[in-house]
Structure 1
């Protein structure tokens, strides 16, 4: 009798576009701290890490604080908006974005690059584009 060997099927890829758009909208555009915390619980692993150009932020509550401070700092109509569709494979996703006041100029642009584990963001790198001259 011969033995049949089956290769393990890789886990299905997460929907990177849905996950990273939800992160922008429900975490970084959310002004209500309780709704932002609920989104972080859903979208991030228990102990996430976010890497900013000049800071390393550890934990959901610290990421929530950073998001809230950004929104407060830049005013009541400041928003992050995705540019195009997020792409990813094998647990790494990337989404381009831009931000500024509604109807106003783009103040900052960049990309989020996420290490995704079991469909949730484990580590997030925030990459900022150089300002245009």
Structure 2
């Protein structure tokens, strides 16, 4: 496969955040390689543990107070989050966005990983799905998290 020349520039499309070069992003960042779960990441954080905590304690947490506590633990105060609805900046706006998304989910829908977490330097890539356990997923996507000092500083959610 040919590697694209030049930087990868995210662009917003009708289906959300598009990555203009598709697989070129994974190749350019070295995200195609899988790493041992024992490897530590930026800030001494294990990427697999960080993603597991994000899914369990934020995405799948129904209680807003517990979800807020987890976001305060896992995300930088100046986090930038981008999804198909646009960008939000700062932890408080991120909490409001996640609370709004949680309010739209049914009580039995859960986020889960579709493949192992991949990472290189401060970038973490994970592929997720949303659905009731034992049923076909209703939604799937991939997130790219940038980690600084052990916390997520940028999170880009891309719907499939």
Pairwise mapping of residues 33-48 of structure 1 onto structure 2 (< 5 A)?
33-48=64-79
Instruction: Provide the residue aligned with 2:93 in structure 1.
Output: 62
C-alpha contact 1:71 1:78 (8 A) present in aligned 2: no
Give the direction of change, closer, same or farther, for the CA distance of 1:41–1:103 in structure 2 (3 Å limit): same
Instruction: Provide the residue aligned with 2:27 in structure 1.
Output: none
Give me the whole-angstrom Cα distance separating, in 1, the residues matched to 2:135 and 2:102.
Answer: 15
Q: CA deviation at 1:69?
A: 2.1
1:50 aligns with 2:81: yes
Q: CA deviation at 1:31?
A: 1.1
TM-score under structure 2 normalisation?
Answer: 0.68
Give me the whole-angstrom Cα distance separating, in 2, the residues matched to 1:22 and 1:63.
Answer: 17
Instruction: Provide the residue aligned with 1:98 in structure 2.
Output: 129
Instruction: Provide the residue aligned with 1:24 in structure 2.
Output: 55
**Which structure 2 segments of 5+ residues have no match?**
1-39
Pairwise mapping of residues 107-122 of structure 1 onto structure 2 (< 5 A)?
107-122=138-153
Give me the whole-angstrom Cα distance separating, in 2, the residues matched to 1:55 and 1:25.
Answer: 24
C-alpha contact 1:49 1:59 (8 A) present in aligned 2: yes
Between structure 1 and structure 2, the one with the greater Rg is 1
TM-score under structure 1 normalisation?
Answer: 0.81
Give me the whole-angstrom Cα distance separating, in 2, the residues matched to 1:53 and 1:45.
Answer: 21
1:85 aligns with 2:116: yes
**Which structure 1 segments of 5+ residues have no match?**
1-11
1:75 aligns with 2:106: yes
Q: Determine which structure has the larger strand proportion and give its number.
A: 1
C-alpha contact 1:114 1:124 (8 A) present in aligned 2: yes
